[in-house]
Structure 1
Amino acid sequence: MNLKTKLLPVLKSKWTMSIAAAFAFVIVAGFVAFEATKAEVQFTHNEETETVVTHANTVEELLTELDIEISEHDELSHTLEDEIESEMEIVYQEAKSVTLVVDDEQSSHYTTEDTVEDFLNEIALEVEDHDEVNVDLDESIEEDLEITIDYAIEITVEDAGEEENYWTTEETVEDLLETEEIELDELDEVEPGLDESLDQDLTISITRVEEESEVVEESIDFSTVRRNDDSLEEGTEEVVESGSEGTVEKEYLIRIENGEEVDRELVSEDVKEEAEERVIAVGTQPVQETVSRGGSSSNDEAPSSGNTMTMEATAYNWNCATCDGRGRTATGYNLKENPDGVVAVDPSVIPLGTRVYVEGYGYAVARDTGGAIQGNKIDLHMRSNAEANRFGRQTVEVQIVD
């Protein structure tokens, strides 16, 4: 065996050992290199932080390693292309879906904010104290959270003339009144109606209505009846029956609005006492003298005999300021149609129906009385207030004719 043959096995063994050593070196070198490329980062996901050791070169690769898929609404502290560095802090906030209903109008949103208040600030939506929100403003945002907001409007309530303003989220007039504990009685009236919808700056008017029953006693005027009497001279009258007023009891239904009476309706009436007629005898026996204007006879001369009295005479007309305007005397005589030859007397001095002659006035008949006519006083009826003013008040001689 030559030397070459002897050395060949030895050489093969050494070569094999060299290859193995080289291979081991490569593995060790690769492991060292692999270990050298590891990075330790702080990764915060939805406010939970953990330490992550990664061989990823970029943020996008890291997220892929963590099986995280970024949506357009999510929030990431770095761009996907940023290279991974040791001690790096990466924050990822996953967006949550929120349904927002504002005054019955619905919209969908995504947010990474922590609370309801933060979310509303994010979308620039203001909420005042009077507005109604279905969740607390400091409540945390959860996936698929529904937030309902009803904005309050200002309403004016005018209750029996008194005004007060209310902020409300109610929908109808009736709902507002119930919420504010404004009670209505059966007869009260509301404008607009209870089922009307509420609008900003609406004024609701409430009329408080009451109905009361009132019973009053009223007098019944008596009527006057004239009957011809041939025992009396023509132109004279005599009260046969003075007459008297009756009484009637009337029941009224009174409507009161906001404390003031606005209507009165007669419901029933009951006559308690009938009125008695005034009966006046009208003379029909012809007389020689014919009474003309001012009560004078055709020759206007005083009678030759009869009882004569000195009296204070005052002229008046039926349409004077203090008269009742009816133009009727105490005996029922119509002064409007028969203005001449009528005097008012004190019946205890000159009985009604007495024919007299008045100085400066002429013949007349006592057909009237007056509260101020007492004793030797007499009132002379003139055709007009102007004539009465001209006569004024005078002292005259009054002669009783019959």
Structure 2
Amino acid sequence: MKNLFSIKLGKGKVLLLVACLLLAGTGTAYGAHEFTKQSITISINGKEKTIRTHEETVAQLLSDLGIRTRAEDHISPSLNTKIQDNMNIVYDAAIPVHLTLDGKEKTIWTTDQTVGALLKNEKIDIGKHDQVTPEKNDKIKKNMNLVVQQAFQVSLKDGGKDKKVWTTSTTVADFLKQQELRLKKHDKIKPALHSNISKESADIQITRVEKVTDVVEEKIAFDTKHKKDRSLEKGKEKVLKKGEEGKLKKHYAIVKENGKVVSKELIKEVTEKDSKDRIVAIGTQVSKKEPKASPAVSRSNESSGKEFYVASTAYTASCAGCTGRTSTGFNLKANPGAKVIAVDPSVIPLGSKVYVEGYGYAVASDTGSAIKGNKIDVFVPSKSAAYQWGNKRVKIRVLK
């Protein structure tokens, strides 16, 4: 029987036919291979894409994609999960963050998006006064430097006033800067500015030092000069010129600590006005009616009076402890010009008339607790006159 389907082909045509058959077979095989792949949607660091794979697990898929995973990476579902068609896979690679916590450094690998989330996952509690740099809402970046300074309380004594202050500073100088506290030139601080502080040693004391110059004005008492006057009856006095007080300014260097004076030093005195002497005329004229004393009579004779020297001071009607009346009842306040002296009655009897050098004729009408022995206290109308009299030795004559 003849083969009705036999066809005679040339050599070239045979080769072409074989090639076509092989290509068709390969295409069919490739199509079959692709058809059996699983379709996967994967998000890599936020970028999403769809791929087809024959890999059996998530780990194999990531390895096939050239991704080297770390324990800190975020992978969902887990690495050993079987691949299924239409599966969604999320991969976020952990990045390094350099954390400094209270001066101690370490590197953390994280997939957290913000500083706050990282701190929460690391179980680092942030208090009201703690300092975080960058801030908690800032996004995490690769190789970011994150600094956390946890606050502690400082016992501050500033100018004598105590208070508690929260701080993250590690030195005294930085603490002052953080609290906006300024030291003046002479202020003192403990511990020193360069000293470290921590919650174990957190006591700071500031002493506010003030150096000032204080000027005090004082009066310069005037002296009394006596001048003999032959035209004036003996025993009488006349003020020829009133005395004038001078002015003296004393300059003091004063140091105050926390408002209290701790030292006061006189640095100079300046006379603003000199005092002027008080000039008093003392009468030396002997009255013609006065009989001449007998040469035979001694100065200590009772007829001419007994003379002797006494210590003398002066007082006023308003002195401390004074009532304004003498021990004999005489009203000094009502008689500011009276000539009265206080005496020791055992030396000069009360009621005696006396003549006091530089004071004139007077009556012994008063006593005093400090007037003992040869001592008298002359009554003057003002404190300035009392200061002017001072404490001096004078001659006194007791008259009949």
TM-score, normalized by the shorter chain, greater than 0.5:
yes
Q: 1:177 is matched with which residue?
A: 176
| Equivalent of residue 327 in structure 2, options 298, 302, 314 | 314
Per-residue CA shift, 1:20-46, capped at 9, x if unaligned?
9x9999978855753453111121211
1:312-371 deviations in Å (ceiling 9; x for gaps):
9838xxxxxxxxxxxxxx98x9x9xx884245669xx6544999999xxxxx99944447
1:214 counterpart residue number: 215
Q: Is the 8 A contact 2:222 2:275 kept in 1?
A: no
Give yes or no for contact 1:39–1:84 (8 Å, CA) kept in 2.
yes
Distance 1:81 1:365 in 2: 124
User: Matched residue of 1:263: which SS?
Assistant: strand
**Alignment match, 1:44:** 43
Question: Aligned-pair distance for 1:251?
Answer: 2.8
Q: What pairs with 1:102-117 in structure 2 (closer than 5 Å)?
A: 102-117=101-116
- Please, what TM-score do these two structures have when normalized by structure 2? 0.56
Worse overlay, 24-33 or 77-86: 24-33
Provide the aligned C-alpha RMSD in A: 5.2
User: By how many angstroms is 1:85 displaced?
Assistant: 1.0
Residue 34 of structure 1 corresponds to 33
Q: Which residue of the partner structure matches residue 204 of structure 1?
A: 205
**For residues 54 and 263 of structure 2, what CA distance do their matches in structure 1 show?**
96
Counterpart for residue 312 of structure 2: none
Answering whether residue 69 of structure 2 is matched by residue 59 of structure 1, we say no
Q: Shift of residue 180 of structure 1? A: 3.9
Corresponding position of 1:191: 190
- Aligned mates of 2:147, 2:218 — CA distance in 1: 66
Amino acid at match of 2:347: G
Per-residue deviation, 1:141: 2.0
**What SS does structure 2 have at the residue aligned with 1:314?**
coil
User: Residues 38 and 339 of structure 1: is their aligned pair in 2 closer, same or farther, counting only changes over 3 Å?
Assistant: farther
Aligned match of 2:386: none
Matches within 5 A, 1:88-107: 88-107=87-106
Q: Distance in 2 between matches of 1:166 and 1:356?
A: 76
One-letter amino acid of the counterpart of residue 48, structure 1:
K
Whole-angstrom distance in 2 between the partners of 1:190 and 1:313: 62
1:85 matches 2:91 = no
| Structure 1 position 252 matched with structure 2 position 252 | yes
Give the counterpart of 2:347 among 329, 333, 341: 341
Q: CA deviation at 1:169?
A: 3.3
Aligned residues: 296
Partner of residue 279, structure 1? none
Matching residue of 1:388: none
Paired with 2:101 and 2:124, the residues of 1 have a C-alpha distance of 10
How many Å separate the matches in 2 of 1:150 and 1:124?
15
Change (3 A) 1:345 1:269: farther
TM-score, normalising length from structure 1? 0.56
Q: Which residue of 1 aligns with 2:146?
A: 147
Q: Percent identity?
A: 24
Note if contact 1:345-1:352 (Cα within 8 Å) is conserved in structure 2: no
Q: CA deviation at 1:109?
A: 0.9
TM-aligned CA distance change 1:368 to 1:69, over 3 Å: closer
CA–CA distance in 2 between the matches of 1:146 and 1:128? Answer: 20
One-letter amino acid matched to 1:199: S
The structural deviation recorded for 1:273 is 5.2
Whether the aligned pair in 1 keeps the contact of 2:187 and 2:206 (CA below 8 Å) is no
**Secondary structure, in 3 states, of the residue corresponding to 1:57?**
coil
Q: Counterpart of 1:324?
A: none
State whether residues 155 and 204 of structure 1, in contact with CA within 8 Å, keep that contact through their aligned partners in structure 2: no
Q: Which amino acid aligns with 2:214?
A: S
Tell me the residue number matched to 1:268: 268
Match of 1:377 in 2: none
Q: Unmatched 5+ residue regions in structure 2?
A: 7-18, 224-234, 238-242, 279-297, 307-324, 329-339, 366-372, 382-397
Structure 2: how far apart are the matches of 1:184 and 1:275?
Answer: 52
The one-letter code sitting in structure 2 at the alignment partner of 1:217 is E
1:274, CA displacement in angstroms?
Answer: 9.9
Equivalent residue for 1:137? 136
Shift in CA distance, 55/218, structure 1 to aligned 2, threshold 3 Å: same
Shift of 1:252: 2.2
Contact 1:343/1:365 (8 A) holds in 2: no
- Aligned AA for 1:188? D
Structure 1 residue 74, shift from structure 2 partner? 1.6
Contact 2:350/2:364 (CA < 8 Å) preserved in 1? no
Aligned counterparts of 1:195 and 1:39: Cα–Cα separation in 2 = 68
Q: For 2:221 and 2:34, locate their aligned partners in 1 and report how far apart those are by CA, in whole Å.
A: 126
Take 2:355 and 2:251, find their aligned partners in 1: how far apart are those partners?
43
Question: Residue 248 of structure 1 contacts residue 269 of structure 1 at CA under 8 Å; is this kept in 2?
Answer: no
**C-alpha contact 2:172 2:194 (8 A) present in aligned 1:** yes
